[in-house]
Structure 1
Amino acid sequence: MNLKSGYPFSIIKNGIPYNFPKLDHDIETDVVILGSGITGALVRYHLVKAGINCVTIDARTIGFGSTSASTSLLQYEIDLPLYKLTEMIGKKKAERSYQLCDKAINDLAAIAKELNIEDFEAKNSLYYAAYKKDVVWLKKEFKARKEAGFKVDYLNVAEVKKQYGIDCYGAILSHHGALTNAYMFTHNLLQYKAAEASYAIYDRSPVKDIKHKKDGVVLTTESDYTIKANKLIYATGYEVVNYIDEPIVDLLSTYAVVSEQYNERNFWKDEVLIWNTADPYLYIRTTADNRVLIGGRDEEFSDPAKRNKLLKKKTKQLTADANKLFPDLNFIPEFSWAGTFGSTKDGLPYIGSYSKKPNSYFALGFGGNGITFSLIAAQIIRDLIQDKENKDATLFAFER
């Protein structure tokens, strides 16, 4: 599946920082990880830290799927507001889902520190009401977050305007979030013990056949090499529709534009992450090299050609959105792209075993904050492989 269009800024800026070989021989291992984007990289890191022999394989050059198109906002908020999720699955489960995402930001920060990943920065997050009608439920959402223990403030119209210069109908200011570079984070993760044969990584090696057996799995590549393993972890992201015959996810295309580089950093207060209550929602952030990135204007995904055709129009719309939000910004677009992402019925990912695919686990971090979901998936799957109890696994199970 073609997962992106245009020129993702992460590839333009960073190129291909590390090279990996194609698979050119047969392999036997304990675990094989299918997919080496941010999800597969986080899964591999946690398995390697646990001393579990694993091989990672990808059809593309490392990071060239959805990971390269990620805008890399790290937030504990999922696409479904907490109060709505509470109505769907109950207060305890909903709060725990949000709290796990909150913890995931801290865990990602710890990994970034351990691996000396420079492009990681803590940020507050501003969630503003795009329409007057949204104020009622935004206040309900604020109350739900306060009750769940999150550090949040509610800002009225005047306060948002005074502090951030934004014309809106009110906002929630969350005091926990972060920015990173998912593409480089992935590459840095994959460098962890990359030279050891027990944790080998192969890219540009498409898998054409997977056989699930009672005693393990066998993967065959297009070059007819095989990987035999006790367990298989699907970290294929939105291409999972090729492996699961149930409608668990709706595929969408989201668009992003990054500005020309500014001579001086003169952006909004604290350069908070900003997003709104519109559907689809708009989001805007700064970059480490004095740029502004804006994204949104989502469309249902039907085929890459349609997505590509819309890119020019979406670039103009998002540029206008940025300049309307901040009239003095003078946002001038330089690079734009589109990426595929998925949404689920409850805004939560699918993590764990799937009855129709024995000896396998799925790490499917669907949603707007897929990176935090991927971290959660890595920890849950590590525990399941080690036959350790993980009380949070049922939250994201296929059977939920």
Structure 2
Amino acid sequence: MDLQSGYPYSLIRNGLPFNYPWLETDIRTDVAVIGGGISGALTAYALTKAGISNVVVDARTIGLGSTAASTSLLQYEIDTPLYQLQEKVGVAAANSAYELCAASIGELERICKALRFPHFEKKHSLYLASYRKDVSWLRKEYAARKALGLKMEWWEEAVVLDKMGFSAPAAIYSHTAAQTDAYLLSHALHQHNIRHGGAVYDRTAVVDMEFRPRSVVLKTAHGQTITARYVVIATGYEVLQYIKLPLLKLNATYAVVSEPNHAEEQWYNDCLIWETKSPYLYMRVTSDHRVLVGGRDEPFYNPTRRDKLIHRKAAALEKDLRKKFPDIRFHPEFKWTGTFGSTEDGLPFIGAFPPMPHTYFALGFGGNGITFSQIAANIIADLVQGKKNPDTAIFSFNRKIRHSR
């Protein structure tokens, strides 16, 4: 599947920082990770840290799938508000999911420090009520988060106006957020893993899987084989080639980034901004002082239809920004689109899928796939080592979802 198109900002800025070989011989390993984007890279890092030999393979050049299109916001909030998630999956599971997402931001910070990776910035996050009708449920959301002990503030309309310079009926101002560069971080993780005995092969498509009693044999498009005790599938939205079930709904999202303009001086604390409306608008300032605006999602039908909308969607996103910040000098420089998946409850799928033995999935769907990827890395590293992980059930393929009336 063609997962992104246009000129993703990180890809344009950073190019191809490293080259990786394609697989040319048959090999054996403890774990084969299919997918070299941020999910596969974080999983391989966790395995390497645990002393487990692993090999990463990707059908593309490393990072050129959804990871290149990521806008790299790190938030503990998932696409389903906490109070609604409590109704869908139960209070305990919903609370744990939010706590895990919050904790993963700190874990990602520690990983970046260990790698000496400079592109991690702590931020605050502002969740705006788009309409007055949203205030009542946003208060419920605030109460649910407060009961969980998450650090945040409630902003009335006057506070939003005073702090931000534009009007919104209310907002939640969260103290736990960050931003990074998912594309560069993936490469930094791969380079670390290679230095510690791992291997990464790109342009190496897996076309067949043979499940044996104690191993899985992967066959590549060029005829090589990888024999592994376990396989981790971290292919994101292309997972539908492995699991023929209606697991997710595909959407196309759009983003545009400006020329450098020092817009961080225009709003409070240089916070991340997003809204309650669906699809939601989000914006942040990059480390090189550009404004990045994203949203305007559409159901995904095919790449051609998705790509035709890039210029129109970018213009609409620029208009959305100007409604809030009319004085910002916003000259669009790069615009792009990417395909992403969403699940019924907003949670990812992580762990075993019974019809496929010796196989684990790391599928971080939704708007904060990077934090989900870190959670998946921790869970899968435990499972491969034969350890029980109490969080596995929350993200299981067999989890129960209560349907809203």
TM-score after normalising by structure 1: 0.98
State how many pairs are aligned.
399
Distance (whole Å) between structure 2 residues aligned to residue 125 and residue 4 of structure 1: 26
* 2:402 alignment partner in structure 1: none
Give unpaired runs (5+ residues) of structure 2: 400-405
Amino acid at match of 1:326: F
* 1:141 alignment partner in structure 2: 141
* 1:333 alignment partner in structure 2: 332
Identity of aligned residues (%): 52
Aligned: 1:286 with 2:274:
no
* 2:244 alignment partner in structure 1: 245
Asked if 1 retains the 8 angstrom alpha-carbon contact of 2:38 and 2:370, the reply is yes
Please report how far the alpha carbon of residue 260 of structure 1 lies from its aligned counterpart in structure 2 after TM superposition: 1.0
Asked if 2 retains the 8 angstrom alpha-carbon contact of 1:27 and 1:226, the reply is yes
SS of the equivalent of 2:265 reads: coil
Please report how far the alpha carbon of residue 263 of structure 1 lies from its aligned counterpart in structure 2 after TM superposition: 6.0
* 1:342 alignment partner in structure 2: 341
Give unpaired runs (5+ residues) of structure 1: none
Asked if 1 retains the 8 angstrom alpha-carbon contact of 2:264 and 2:270, the reply is no
Alignment of 1:318-397 (within 5 A): 318-397=317-396
User: Structure 1, residues 191-226: CA drift from partner, whole Å, max 9, x if none?
Assistant: 114145x41110011112122222211111111111
Amino acid at match of 1:164: M
* 1:69 alignment partner in structure 2: 69
* 1:103 alignment partner in structure 2: 103
User: Structure 1, residues 55-74: CA drift from partner, whole Å, max 9, x if none?
Assistant: 11001111000000000000
Distance (whole Å) between structure 1 residues aligned to residue 343 and residue 263 of structure 2: 40
Distance (whole Å) between structure 2 residues aligned to residue 89 and residue 125 of structure 1: 25
SS of the equivalent of 1:201 reads: strand
* 1:78 alignment partner in structure 2: 78
Amino acid at match of 1:327: P
Asked if 2 retains the 8 angstrom alpha-carbon contact of 1:232 and 1:360, the reply is yes
TM-score after normalising by structure 2: 0.97
Please report how far the alpha carbon of residue 88 of structure 1 lies from its aligned counterpart in structure 2 after TM superposition: 1.1
Please report how far the alpha carbon of residue 168 of structure 1 lies from its aligned counterpart in structure 2 after TM superposition: 1.0
Please report how far the alpha carbon of residue 332 of structure 1 lies from its aligned counterpart in structure 2 after TM superposition: 1.5
* 1:305 alignment partner in structure 2: 304
Distance (whole Å) between structure 1 residues aligned to residue 232 and residue 150 of structure 2: 33
Asked if 1 retains the 8 angstrom alpha-carbon contact of 2:264 and 2:285, the reply is no
Give the stretch that moved more between structures: 254-263 or 131-140. Answer: 254-263
SS of the equivalent of 1:194 reads: helix
Distance (whole Å) between structure 2 residues aligned to residue 125 and residue 201 of structure 1: 35
Asked if 2 retains the 8 angstrom alpha-carbon contact of 1:81 and 1:141, the reply is yes
* 1:124 alignment partner in structure 2: 124
Distance (whole Å) between structure 1 residues aligned to residue 200 and residue 75 of structure 2: 29
Distance (whole Å) between structure 2 residues aligned to residue 379 and residue 241 of structure 1: 23
Please report how far the alpha carbon of residue 264 of structure 1 lies from its aligned counterpart in structure 2 after TM superposition: 7.3
Asked if 2 retains the 8 angstrom alpha-carbon contact of 1:33 and 1:56, the reply is yes
Distance (whole Å) between structure 2 residues aligned to residue 284 and residue 190 of structure 1: 29
SS of the equivalent of 1:345 reads: coil
Asked if 2 retains the 8 angstrom alpha-carbon contact of 1:323 and 1:330, the reply is no
Aligned: 1:232 with 2:234:
no
Please report how far the alpha carbon of residue 19 of structure 1 lies from its aligned counterpart in structure 2 after TM superposition: 1.0
Indicate the RMSD between aligned Cα atoms, in angstroms.
1.0
Structure 1 moving runs of 4+ over 6 Å = none
Alignment of 1:53-68 (within 5 A): 53-68=53-68
Please report how far the alpha carbon of residue 265 of structure 1 lies from its aligned counterpart in structure 2 after TM superposition: 5.0
Distance (whole Å) between structure 2 residues aligned to residue 212 and residue 264 of structure 1: 54
Please report how far the alpha carbon of residue 286 of structure 1 lies from its aligned counterpart in structure 2 after TM superposition: 0.3
Distance (whole Å) between structure 1 residues aligned to residue 148 and residue 344 of structure 2: 22
User: Structure 1, residues 20-51: CA drift from partner, whole Å, max 9, x if none?
Assistant: 10111111111100001000000000000000
Alignment of 1:257-268 (within 5 A): 257-262=256-261, 266-268=265-267
Amino acid at match of 2:288: D
Distance (whole Å) between structure 2 residues aligned to residue 200 and residue 267 of structure 1: 45
The structure-2 alpha-carbon separation of the partners of 1:202 and 1:322, relative to structure 1 and needing over 3 Å to count, comes to same
Distance (whole Å) between structure 1 residues aligned to residue 55 and residue 263 of structure 2: 45
* 1:186 alignment partner in structure 2: 186
